Amino acid sequence: MKKLHLLLFSASLLMGTATQAQLKVEIAGVGSNQIPVAVAAFADESVAPDQVSAIIRADLERSGVFKVIDAGQVISDSASVDLAAFKARGADALVVGSVARQPDGRIAVRYKLHDTVKGGQISQLGGEVQPRYTRLQAHRIADDVYEKLTGVRGIFSTRIAYVKENRAGRNYTLAVADADGENEIIAVSGREPIISPSWSPDGLKVAYVSMEDRKPVVYLQDLMTGRRNVISNQKGNNSAPAWSPDGRTLAVALSKDGNTEIYAVNSDGSGLRRLTNSNAIDTEPQFSADGQSIYFTSDRSGGPQVYRMSATGGNPTRVTFNGNYNISPRVSSDGKTLAWISQRDGGYSLYAMDLASGQELRLADGATEPSFSPNGKYIMYATKGGGRVSLAVVSVDGRVKQRLTTKAGNIREPSWGPFMK
């Protein structure tokens, strides 16, 4: 419950205007060896503004990990269940639950996860939330199901940030939404381009670049208070902010001395220090999962490639060798996988590399601007199709694919938020 209260506290303080133009999720592929799970309608869930069981089903389905079976009936978490009957229908697990409106107006949501194979209970959760947080509670239940059945933490209750461009009105907005595209909130809006949003590790702030001063400037938007601060407004271009895992430092790319180099700056904008010093263009820094290294893009070898150096600077080591054009490095939260964009065969594709073995996997074509999910199992990226830029998601094994679209303009520059503590 303490975890839930912290999560709701953070969500309730997000500043901005809720919009109606939600993202639509389309599932284009599924994983192999899916886990069959039956999801029953929750007892009395009509008293809540959102149907809890439907949200749980949608979350599990779009993960690609589960084969969701409709239980075809209402089953409360307090009911006695014939688990053998669901096992006979091919389900390895069963999700049941109930919803109740409390005298103070809050919504109580409770659920249980049953093992139909062993005939026992695997997990249960319960909590009371304000009606507007019913979806969040449903996402938390889906997260629990995902973790208990896979051993990996779920990401359904996380948030994403992205930039929306309305070409007709020449308007740019930095939006924040649930991982399924719902509950969209506008954090920043303006007439000039916004790029490179980057979440703070605590999930309460977003650094980004705005062109409103007719040059790239790095800003920090506090989502709780609505306040923003300038992180870097040096001479020339200020771009590509990336947070250190401890949230104390940002790496940025600056051209203040003529050539674009990697710098580190404190999260309050103080303590600027230079990390690279070469005749090449060094840009797009990204901290490693342990904060000890920085991956970045450099053309010091003649064309853009991904390099790694100490977080304090020093001689870098080249990481990518296949292809003549490799940019936009991103590292998974467990430090095992590197994702980047490579230009090969006349187009841009999303690649992933197992850093231990060096083995590469081509995940998606027509991709730019990758961002890992906080559990390291999915990558969100921007892609163009039908004359419009939209967002897509692919699993790190390439088997699961999703597309997030909207009728209102282009959406791009995705950044997947962290787990809320």
Whether 179 and 132 map to the same domain: the answer is no
Beta bridge partners of 128: 108
Whether 132 and 235 map to the same domain: the answer is no
Beta bridge partners of 120: 115
pLDDT at 25: 64
Domain boundary pick from 150, 175, 194:
150
Above pLDDT 70, what percent of the chain?
91
- Transcribe 135-174 into DSSP letters: HHHHHHHHHHHHHHHHSS---TT-EEEEEEEETTTTEEEE
pLDDT at 275: 98
Domain boundary pick from 104, 132, 150:
150
pLDDT at 20 over 70: no
Distance (Å, rounded) from C-alpha 335 to C-alpha 149? 23
The answer as to whether 144 is a domain residue is yes
The answer as to whether 26 is a domain residue is no
Whether 166 and 114 map to the same domain: the answer is no
State the CATH number of the domain containing residue 102: 3.40.50.10070
The overall pTM is greater than 0.85: yes
Sheet holding 360-365, edge to edge: 326-331, 337-344, 347-354, 360-365
Whether 91 and 164 map to the same domain: the answer is no
The answer as to whether 185 is a domain residue is yes
pLDDT tens digits for 348-357?
999 999 999 9
- Report the phi/psi class of residue 401: left, alpha or beta, with left for phi > 0 and alpha for psi in -120 to 50: beta
Residue identified by tokens 């060896």 is 33
Distance (Å, rounded) from C-alpha 84 to C-alpha 240? 55
Above pLDDT 90, what percent of the chain?
84
The answer as to whether 3 is a domain residue is no
The average pLDDT across 34-59 equals 97
Confidence of residue 404 (pLDDT cuts 50, 70, 90): confident
DSSP H or E run through 10: helix 2-12
Q: Which of 390, 364, 368, 379 is nearest to 416 (CA)?
A: 379
pLDDT at 14 over 70: no
The sign of the CA dihedral 205, 206, 212, 218 is positive
Confidence of residue 388 (pLDDT cuts 50, 70, 90): confident
pLDDT at 5 over 50: no
Whether 282 and 218 map to the same domain: the answer is yes
The answer as to whether 196 is a domain residue is yes
The answer as to whether 10 is a domain residue is no
pLDDT tens digits for 320-329?
999 999 999 9
The answer as to whether 274 is a domain residue is yes
Whether 213 and 336 map to the same domain: the answer is yes
Whether 267 and 406 map to the same domain: the answer is yes
The average pLDDT across 359-372 equals 96
The answer as to whether 234 is a domain residue is yes
Whether 238 and 142 map to the same domain: the answer is no
Q: Number of structural domains, the chain?
A: 2
pLDDT at 405: 73
Whether 303 and 198 map to the same domain: the answer is yes
Range of the domain at 51: 31-150
Least reliable range by pLDDT among 155-169, 185-199, 234-248, 300-314? 155-169
Whether 330 and 184 map to the same domain: the answer is yes
Beta bridge partners of 331: 338
State the CATH number of the domain containing residue 202: 2.120.10.30
Name the H helices within 64-133.
Answer: 83-88
- Report the phi/psi class of residue 45: left, alpha or beta, with left for phi > 0 and alpha for psi in -120 to 50: alpha
pLDDT at 167 over 50: yes
Number of H helices, E strands in the chain: 4, 31
Whether 280 and 399 map to the same domain: the answer is yes
To the nearest 10°, report the CA torsion of 291, 293, 297, 300.
160
Whether 231 and 284 map to the same domain: the answer is yes
CB atoms within 10 A of CB 229: 14
Looking at every residue in the chain, the average pLDDT score rounds to: 91
Distance (Å, rounded) from C-alpha 396 to C-alpha 220? 30
Q: Are 203 and 10 in contact (CB under 8 A)?
A: yes
pLDDT tens digits for 216-256?
999 999 999 999 999 999 999 999 999 999 999 999 999 99
pLDDT at 169: 57
Least reliable range by pLDDT among 1-10, 75-84, 144-153, 383-392? 1-10
Domain boundary pick from 133, 150, 167:
150
